[in-house]
């Protein structure tokens, strides 16, 4: 009798474990879901394109193993960095902004917040980094490390941005959110449409940052001489 009860107890426990595993699997490995699109925030054109992209992603990943492709994650358009308040001037704010800028280009089981990878935002993080150095608010090693990442982004080099995102998370002492690799082109476009809107799709093929006007003038002057 005791053996019979033990058998049923083990069976019941096994079913519970399987049920939990199935729920977690469906939650994190269900692939793109049209119901997660923020329909109210999207234009009709963006919504139609998003549905097309979902079909493309499903063809590329029929088992639905990709994550956070359709979820809207509290996006903002600018870095939100504050330059004129010495009390809020610190390396952590810069790292947080840079981290959110990686989200459109990577996959991760957990993401929270996003900032588009635009020239304006790149200029803001660069200017903030330089201000940190000018105000002695950052160590030289950190300045060089973060400056190197920003420089690659300024040159529109994103082939290791998943690894760079993980470096930023380590600096934040994060326990979750580490990348599962680079987003595909379709995944990135879908993320942009659902979080930022169609006006930001151009960032898929972001051009390298143009030279500063002063640098251009110097070059022209030297050429004339």
Q: What is the pTM of this model?
A: 0.81
In sequence order, what E strands does the chain have? 106-108, 179-182
Residue 26 pLDDT grade (very low, low, confident, very high; cuts 50, 70, 90): very low
H-only helix segments in 61-197: 91-102, 119-134, 140-154, 161-171, 185-195
Each residue of 126-148: pLDDT tens digit?
999 999 999 999 999 999 999 99
**Cβ pair 97, 118 in contact under 8 A:** no
| Euclidean distance between CA atoms 53 and 58, whole angstroms | 9
- For the chain, how long is the longest CA-to-CA vector? 101
What's the pLDDT band for 24 if we cut at 50, 70, 90?
A: very low
Q: How many whole angstroms separate alpha carbon 126 and alpha carbon 162?
A: 20
Model pLDDT, residue 18: 47
Cα–Cα distance, 159 to 180 (Å, whole number):
14
Out of 28-32, 35-39, 188-192, 208-212, give the one with best mean pLDDT: 188-192
Asked if the model's pLDDT at residue 216 lies above 90, the reply is: no
Give me Rg for the CA atoms of the chain.
22
Q: Return d(Cα 124, Cα 211) in angstroms, integer.
A: 15
Size of the chain, expressed as the number of residues it contains: 225
């Amino acid at each position: 009798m005791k053996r019979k009860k033990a058998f049923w107890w083990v069976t019941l426990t096994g079913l519970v474990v399987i049920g939990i595993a199935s729920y977690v699997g469906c939650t994190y490995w269900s692939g793109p879901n049209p119901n997660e699109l923020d329909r109210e925030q999207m234009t009709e054109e963006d919504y139609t394109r998003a549905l097309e992209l979902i079909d493309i992603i499903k063809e590329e990943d029929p088992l639905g193993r990709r994550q956070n492709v359709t979820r809207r994650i509290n996006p903002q358009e600018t870095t939100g960095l504050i330059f004129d308040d010495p009390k809020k001037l610190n390396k952590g704010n810069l790292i947080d902004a840079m981290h959110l800028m990686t989200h459109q280009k990577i996959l991760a089981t957990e993401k929270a917040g996003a900032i588009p990878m635009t020239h304006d935002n790149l200029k803001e993080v660069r200017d903030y980094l330089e201000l940190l150095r000018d105000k002695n608010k950052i160590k030289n090693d950190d300045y060089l490390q973060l400056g190197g990442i920003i420089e690659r982004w300024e040159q529109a080099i994103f082939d290791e941005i998943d690894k760079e995102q993980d470096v930023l998370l380590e600096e934040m002492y994060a326990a979750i959110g580490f990348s599962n690799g680079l987003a595909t082109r379709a995944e990135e476009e879908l993320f942009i449409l659902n979080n930022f809107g169609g006006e930001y799709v151009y960032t898929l093929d972001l051009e390298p940052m143009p030279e500063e006007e002063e640098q251009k003038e110097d070059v022209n002057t030297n050429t004339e001489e």
